[in-house]
Amino acid sequence: MRIDVLTLFPEAFESILKVSIVQRARQKGLLRIVLSNIRDFARDNYRSVDDKPYGGGPGMVMMCQPIFDCLEQVEAAEATKGRRILLTPQGQPFTQELAGELAQDERLILIAGRYEGFDERIRIALKPLELSIGDYVLSGGEIPAMVIIDAVTRLLPGALGDETSIEQESFAASLLEYPQYTRPEVFRDLRVPEVLLSGHHANIRDWRLQQARERTAQRRPDLLTAPSNSKQEKQSDFQDNRKS
C-alpha cells in the first residue's frame, strides 16, 4: 500500500514513521508513506495556504489552490489515483470496520488541515471521503492521519508478527478484553484468580467470556446492542483461545 499525506507539518509524522509496526511494515516493503508539504504549492510571496472567510467570522480557512495543486502532483506520481480522504471534525466516524476496508486499498491519500476548516469547494470538487476520529477538538488533522495510518497498517497482510493477532483484532469492537495476569502469582498480596492457574481450559474459557461480558455491560453497554457486532464470532474467539 502507498499512503500519501498532504500536510502543513510533514515533520510531525517522523515519530510514527520510526516506530514499531509502521516502521516494520515499511522495511518489509508492505507500506510506502509519501509526505507532501501543502505550503510548497503556495503561490504568493508569503507562501499563503489560508485566508479570511467570506462573510466574516473568526479564524482562517484553508485555500483551494495549494491543496488542488498538491493533490494533482501527488496523484500524477502513480497510475493508481487512490482514495482521497479529508480529515475533519465533521467527518464520518473512523471505526475498526472502516480501517478494514481501507486496508484493502492499493493507495490512500490523506489530507490533513489546520485552521478553522477547508474552503467548501475542496469537498465539492475533490469528493473526498471525510473522516473524524472522534468527538473532541484537536488542533489539526495530523494526529487523526497518524491514527488512520497506524490502524490500517496493522491490518496489512504480513504487518503483524503472528497471524492470529489480526483475527483477534477484527473482533476488538464486539466485546471488551477480559482481565489478564502474568507472573508472579502473588504481588503485594494480590493473587491471580485461581481458575487461571487450574489448567482447566474449559473453565478458563468460561471465566474469560463471563468477565468480558460483565466488563462490557459495565463500561460499554453500547457495544452489546450495536448492530455491527458479531457476537457469535467473538464467542468462537473464546472457544479457540490462543491469546495467552
Q: Which is nearer to ligand 9D3, 10 or 234 (CB)?
A: 10
Least distance to ligand 9D3, CB of residue 176, Å: 23
Q: Which is nearer to ligand 9D3, 66 or 113 (CB)?
A: 113
Least distance to ligand 9D3, CB of residue 58, Å: 8
The partner residues of 219 in beta bridges, in order of sequence, read none
Sorted by sequence, the CB contacts under 8 Å of residue 185 that are 6+ apart come out as: 191, 192, 197
Residues in the chain: 244
Least distance to ligand 9D3, CB of residue 123, Å: 14
> What are the cell numbers at 74?
501527488
Least distance to ligand 9D3, CB of residue 141, Å: 4
Least distance to ligand 9D3, CB of residue 132, Å: 4
Return d(Cα 128, Cα 201) in angstroms, integer: 49
Strand-pair category, 32-37 with 2-7: parallel
Q: Which is nearer to ligand 9D3, 45 or 139 (CB)?
A: 139
Residues that bind ligand 9D3 (CB under 6 A): 87-89, 113, 116-117, 132-134, 136-141, 144
Sorted by sequence, the CB contacts under 8 Å of residue 242 that are 6+ apart come out as: 164
The partner residues of 2 in beta bridges, in order of sequence, read 32, 107
What is the C-alpha radius of gyration for the chain, rounded to an integer number of angstroms?
22
Least distance to ligand 9D3, CB of residue 148, Å: 9
Q: Which is nearer to ligand 9D3, 79 or 137 (CB)?
A: 137
Q: Which is nearer to ligand 9D3, 125 or 138 (CB)?
A: 138
Sorted by sequence, the CB contacts under 8 Å of residue 19 that are 6+ apart come out as: none
Q: Which is nearer to ligand 9D3, 89 or 100 (CB)?
A: 89
Return d(Cα 22, Cα 151) in angstroms, integer: 10
Return d(Cα 112, Cα 46) in angstroms, integer: 21
Phi (first) and psi of residue 137, to 5 degrees: -95, 120
